Structure 1
C-alpha cells in the first residue's frame, strides 16, 4: 500500500528502537508492526488516523483509525463512510489489538469486495473502545453478572455525531449526507449502533449489527430494551433507514435460547418488518443487491460470538451499505 518507512534510533542501552513516524497521517501494518506511508497507491487502500479527540461527555479521549480505498491519494472523488465500533479490532490482522480473537480485517474484506465489483469505494472509520465499553455502548443501565453497569450510550452517540464525524468530514473527502453515512458494530457494538440509529436518523442512514446484545436492559432490570424503544416508534419507515442484522448460534432447541444473541436478533428483525421496514433481498448472496432493500437478516447456524465469525459475514453488510446500485 505505497512506499513505507520507519525510524531507527538507539535507546540508553545502545539497543535499536524501530518506530513509525508519529507525525505521518498515513500508515499500515506488516509483520514487524506499524509503518508510516509516504503516499497511498492505486492497488491497495491504506490506513490513516485522526489524532486524539477530547470525547467530551466520556471519560476517555481517543483517536480514530480511518481506512481509505485504493487510489484515494490520486483522486478527487468523495466517498460514503461507515463508522465501526471497537475500532482497535477492526483492521489489519497485524494490528496491535485488544481482542484475543483477532480483528475483523475489514480493510482486506473491503478490498476483496472492491476487486470483485460487489461494492463501490468507500471509507471505513474504526472508533476505538475504552475500558468503559459497557458504559459507552449501552443505552440504559442494567445488572450484568451481579453488577450495575451501563447507560452512557447517549453521550457516546453525541461523541460520534458532534466530534468524530465532523473530524472525519474535515480531514477526508467524504459524502457527509445521511444516505452515505453508516454505523455498525458487533455484540454491544451492534446495540449502540441501533441506539445511534434510533437517536439520530438524520445522520445515520445505514445501521448494522452483528450478534447484537438486543436484550440489554432486561438482564437484571426493567428495561427498556432497544427493541422496545424501536417498537414505540410511529415513523420508522418514514425515517428512510437501512438495517443489517445477523447472528450465529441458533435455537436451543427453540427460543428463548440465547446463543450468539440469536433469539433477540430474530425479535428485532420481526419488529422492524412488522413496522414496515420489510424490503428484504430474495437472495442474500445476490450481487448487486436490489436497490430498494431496507432490511437484511442473515443467520450463520452455530457460529460463535467472535471476530473470526464476524469477519466471515462482514462482506454481506458491506455489500448492502456500499452497494454499487446506491
Structure 2
C-alpha cells in the first residue's frame, strides 16, 4: 500500500511539474526510508544535475518537516553510487535519531556535484573581494599549471546558491510537507561543501537558520604555507556572520590526511564567532583526533550536528 501511495504521489508530481522528472530509486530498498531522484533538475543558473530527496519512513503529508540541503548528494545515502565506495549513511543515522525521538523529524535534499566543476561551484565567490589583483593572478596561474584555464568569472558559487534558494527550495516546499521558515531550513556539507555551507548562511541568513560545515576546507585550494586565501574567508566572515539570535553554526575537523591542515585555523574561527557573541548554544567547532578526510570518518560523527541542529526543545 505504501509503495502504491508513493507511485500515485509521484505521478501527480509529473502532472504538476511536467518539466521535472522524478522517480523512486530502485536502491531505496537498501535505504532506511525512501529516496526520490529528480533527474537533471531544470535550471537557468548552473549546469543541471540530479537532486535526491530523502524521506524518513514516517513521512506523511499530515506532518511538517524541517529540511536539510546538503552538497555532494551522491555521497550521502548509498555507497554503490559514490566514487570511492564510501557513504555518509545519512539515512541510517537520521532514521535512528528520529526513531529514538532525539531530534525533530526532517528530510534531506542532496544536491549532486559535477566532479569536473565541483570546485568552481562550491568556492565562495565573494571572498575574492578580499584578495589583491596580484594574488588573484597567481591563483589563476597556479591553476593553469594544473591544466585549469580559469578566471574569476568561472567561479559559480553565487549562481549555485541561487539555484538552491530560487529553484530547488521553492520546488521542495511546494512538493513536500515542509516547514518553510529559516529556523527549520539548514544547509550542510564537507570540505568545499563545508565552505559553501558557511557561505550559504552568510549570503542568505533569511533563508537558512543553521549551517553544518564538516572538515571545512579553509585552505580553499591546495594547502600551502600562504595564508592569503584562508584570510580572505576570515575577512569575509568578520563582516558577514549573521545574528546569533536565530542562527547556528557547526564546524569540525580531523587531524589526518587533508584534515591535518585544518587544526591551525581553530582559534581564528573560534574568535570570529566569539566576537559576534556566539556561545555553545549556537556554535560548535570540534576536533576529532585521528580522523581523516573521508565519508567513512564523517559518517561516524554526523549524528552530532544532526542533534545540534534538530534538537527538540524539550531535550
Q: TM-score range by the shorter chain?
A: 0.7 to 0.9
Q: Is 1:236 the counterpart of 2:236 in the alignment? A: no
Aligned ranges 1:291-310 → 2 under 5 Å: 293-310=281-298
Which stretch of the first structure deviates more once superposed, 80-89 or 207-216? Answer: 207-216
What is residue 107 of structure 1 aligned with on the other side?
91
What is residue 64 of structure 1 aligned with on the other side?
51
What is residue 27 of structure 2 aligned with on the other side?
29
Matched-pair contact (CA < 8 Å) for 2:215–2:259: no
* Equivalent residue for 1:154, pick from 149, 152, 158: 158
What is residue 312 of structure 1 aligned with on the other side?
300
How many residue pairs align between the two structures? 276
Aligned ranges 1:130-209 → 2 under 5 Å: 130=114, 131-140=116-125, 143=139, 146-147=142-143, 151-209=155-213
Q: Which structure 1 residue ranges, 4+ long, deviate > 4 Å from structure 2?
A: 1-4, 217-224
Separation in 1, partners of 2:220, 2:298 = 20
Looking at secondary structure, tell me which structure has more helix per residue. Answer: 2
Matched-pair contact (CA < 8 Å) for 2:219–2:227: no
Give the TM-score, by structure 2 length: 0.78
Shift of 1:134: 0.5
Higher relative contact order (CA 8 A, sep 6+): 2
* Equivalent residue for 2:65, pick from 79, 82, 90: 79
**Closer/same/farther in 2, CA of residues 136 and 157 from structure 1, 3 Å limit:** same
Structure 2: give runs of 5+ residues left out of the alignment: 5-20, 129-135, 145-149
Separation in 2, partners of 1:198, 1:3 = 40
Looking at secondary structure, tell me which structure has more strand per residue. Answer: 1
Q: SS of the residue aligned with 1:232? A: helix
Q: Deviations over 1:57-77 (max 9, x none)?
A: 32x20121011112214x510
Q: Is 1:272 the counterpart of 2:270 in the alignment? A: no
Which stretch of the first structure deviates more once superposed, 110-119 or 157-166? Answer: 110-119
Matched-pair contact (CA < 8 Å) for 1:77–1:173: yes
* Equivalent residue for 1:52, pick from 36, 40, 43: 40
Q: Deviations over 1:70-112 (max 9, x none)?
A: 2214x5101000001000101134x422x31511010011112
What is residue 15 of structure 1 aligned with on the other side?
none
What is residue 119 of structure 1 aligned with on the other side?
103
Give the TM-score, by structure 1 length: 0.75
Separation in 1, partners of 2:26, 2:186 = 23
